[in-house]
A and B are shown apart, each in its own frame.
Chain A
Amino acid sequence: MTLPAEYTIYPKRAEGYDHDLYEWSNIHERKPVRWPHDTSVAVWLCVSLEWFPITPEDKPFRAPGHMVMPYPDFRHYTVRDYGNRVGVWRMLDAFQAAGVKASFATNAAIAERYPELIEAVLADGHEIIAHSTDMNATITSELPEGAERKLIADSLSRLEAAAGVKPSGWLSIARSQSWRTLDLLKEHGLEYCCDWVNDELPFSFTNGLTNLPLNTELSDRMIVATQQHSAEGWAQMMRDSFDWLEGEAAAQNSARVLPLHLTPYIMGLPYRIGALEEVLSDLSGRDASWFATGGDIVKSWKGQQ
C-alpha cells in the first residue's frame, strides 16, 4: 500500500503554529504576572457536576465516566449520581472549612434537577461555569454547526434559568471542541474556556476568548481513576506541584496556576475526602497561595495584560 504524494508535502510548515487559533509564546519570556496580595500560585479548584442519562447517545462520542454495562446500567448511573447526592456535599463542607472558593463546572441538567445543590454552591460564594447540558452532549467537529450552536445556547439558557446566574466560563465535556467551538463560545458571550491544556497561565485566543488551562494530568480522574493512585498519592502530587510552581514562580518573578480538577464521585468518597481536606488545609496556609475561582483568576490576569 503506497501513500499519495501529498503525504510528504507540508503546506503549514512555517514559523508559528499550523493553525491560527492562538499565538505561540513561551511562559518564561512573557510579561510577569502577580496574583492579589503578592501571591504567586493561584490554586484553582474546579469541580465537575455531571448528570449521566442512563441512555448514552454517543453522538458524537461517549463521555468519560458514562455508562459501561448494557441498558439499564444501574451500577454506573447510581455510582455517578452518588457524587451529586453525597460526595459534592462533603466537598462543599471541606471548602467551607478551609475558607476557599471554587468553580463548579455544571451541566444545565444538574441545575434543573438539583436546585438545593446549586443554592448551596452559590450561597458559599463559589462560581458556576457552564459544562454543556448533560453528559450526552459532547462536541467534536462531527457535530453539525447548528447542533453545536443549539447545544451551547441551551447549556447557557437552561443553566441561567435554573441557577439565576450567567456564567462567564465554559468547560467542554472531555475538553473536546470542534473547529467552531471557540467562535461559538465567543458568540454566546462567554469570556473564557478551560479546554486547552497547553499552558500554566491563562492566554488569549485570536478571537479574544481566554483559555484558563485545566490540566488533565492533575485531575483526580487521571490520577485516581485512570492511573489508580490512592487519594494520599494524589495529595502528595498536589503538594509536589505546589512546591515546584512556587519555586519556579519565585525564580522567574512571575506567577503560575495550579488547577485541581475534582470529581465528586471520585474524590468525594468517605475514604478519599480526608486527603482532599488535608491538601486544602496545607495549601491554603501557604504564603504563596491564592485560592481563587476561574473567573477571578482570568480577571486578575487580564488586568495585568
Chain B
Amino acid sequence: MQENAKDPELYEYHPYRGRPKVAWPEGKTCAVWVAPNLEYYEIDPPTNPQRKPWAKPHPDVVGYSYRDHSNRVSHWRMAEVMSKHGFPGSVSLSVALCDHHPEVVKDGADRGWEFFSHGIYNTRYSYGLDEAQERHIIEDSIATVERATGQRIRGWLAPALSHTPRTLDLLAEYDFTYTCDLYHDDQVQEVNVAKGQLASIPYSLEVNDHYGFNVYGMSGREYADALIKQYERLADEGERTGSGTVMCIPLHAYLIGQPHRIGPFEEALRHIAADGRAWKARAGEIIDIWRAQR
C-alpha cells in the first residue's frame, strides 16, 4: 500500500451479489476453519511507543496469568473438543511459543494442524518497525516454525493485529499465500500487493471469542448460539448462490477453554459437524481450492 494515502487500496470493490463463483469440495457450501491462537505474552516486554503491552506496571499478574492458562490447562481442553468433532486447527502462532512451550506446539502438530505466524510474541507490535526489522520478523517466523514443525508457513496474522504499511507487500514477496488481517468479506478475496499474489482469508473479529466474551460480554451459551447462527446463514447463502462462503472460528484457549464455556462450545461444533454442509478445512486448503478456480 501507499504510505499515508487516504485509501490504502488494499483490494478492489467486488459486490457480494453477482460475483464469480467458487465451489468447495463435495458440494459443501461453507468452508469452516478453526483458528486457535497459540500465544506467548511476555511478562516484562519492552514498550512500543505506540502501544503499551500491559495495562499495569509489570508484572501485570492477571493479564499475564490469564493468558498463561492456555499453556497449562485450556489448550488441551479446547484441542480435544476440536479433534473429537473433526475440526483441524489452523494456528495463529506466537512463534516464540516453539521455544518456551514446545509441548503445546507439538500437540497441535501431532493433531495435523496447520501453522501460520502471529508474530514472535503477542507483546511485540509491528508499529514503527523499519523494513529490515520487519523482514527479520518474517524470516524468524518462517525459520522457527519450520524448525519446530517441518511446515513452511503460508499465512500471517499480525502480532496483536499490529501492522506497517509494508506488511502485506512483504508477505507476498516471501511467498506467503494468505493473510488473516483484513475483515472486509465473507469469501476469499485477492489482496493488492506490489509484486506477486496474496489472498485474504476471512478471519473474524465479530465471532472471535475475544469479541464474544470480552467485548460483547456474551455467556458461553450465547456465544455458541452466535456461532451456530453465523454458520447457518453462511451455509444457506453458499447453498442459495452456489458459491462457497467461509466461516472462521478464531479462538483463544484461555477464553473458550474456561470451564463455563467449553461445554456450550462443544455443542456448537457438534451442530456444525452434523449439518452436512460444512467443509471442515485448514486455511491453506481453502486458499488452494479458491486459487485453482481463479
Contacts and interface: CB of A to CB of B under 8 A. Distances in A.
A174 interface: yes
Interface in A17-44: 17-19, 24-28
B49 interface: yes
B74 to A, nearest CB: 9
A218 B219 contact: no
Contact of B44 (A18, A238, A248): A18
B260 A218 contact: yes
Contacts of B61: 172, 175-177, 195-196
Interface in A221-278: 226-229, 233, 236-238, 240-245, 248, 256, 258
Contacts of A248: 77
Interface string B56-91: 111111101110110111011100000000000000
A116 interface: no
Interface stretch (B124-132, B181-189, B232-240, B283-291): B124-132
A226 B102 CA distance: 35
Contact of B66 (A24, A197, A244): A197
Interface residues of A, number: 62
A93 interface: no
Interface string B107-142: 000000000000011001000111001001100100
A3 B51 CA distance: 12
Contact of A240 (B59, B102, B259): B259
A3 B56 contact: no
Contacts of B258: 215, 217-218, 241
Given A15-B102, A26-B73, A7 B48 contact: yes
Contacts of A226: 217
A10 interface: yes
Contact of B136 (A6, A8, A13, A240): A8
A206 to B, nearest CB: 14
Given A3-B128, A141-B59, A240-B264, A216 B46 contact: no
27 contacts: A3-B48, A5-B133, A8-B124, A8-B137, A15-B102, A18-B42, A18-B43, A18-B44, A18-B100, A19-B44, A24-B72, A25-B72, A27-B73, A172-B61, A174-B62, A177-B59, A178-B57, A195-B65, A196-B61, A199-B73, A217-B258, A218-B260, A229-B219, A236-B219, A238-B260, A243-B263, A244-B262
Interface of A: 1-8, 10, 12-19, 24-28, 60-61, 140-142, 172, 174-179, 195-200, 213, 215-218, 226-229, 233, 236-238, 240-245, 248, 256, 258
Q: Which 7 A-B pairs have the closest CB atoms?
A: A227-B217, A241-B259, A198-B68, A198-B65, A237-B260, A196-B65, A241-B260
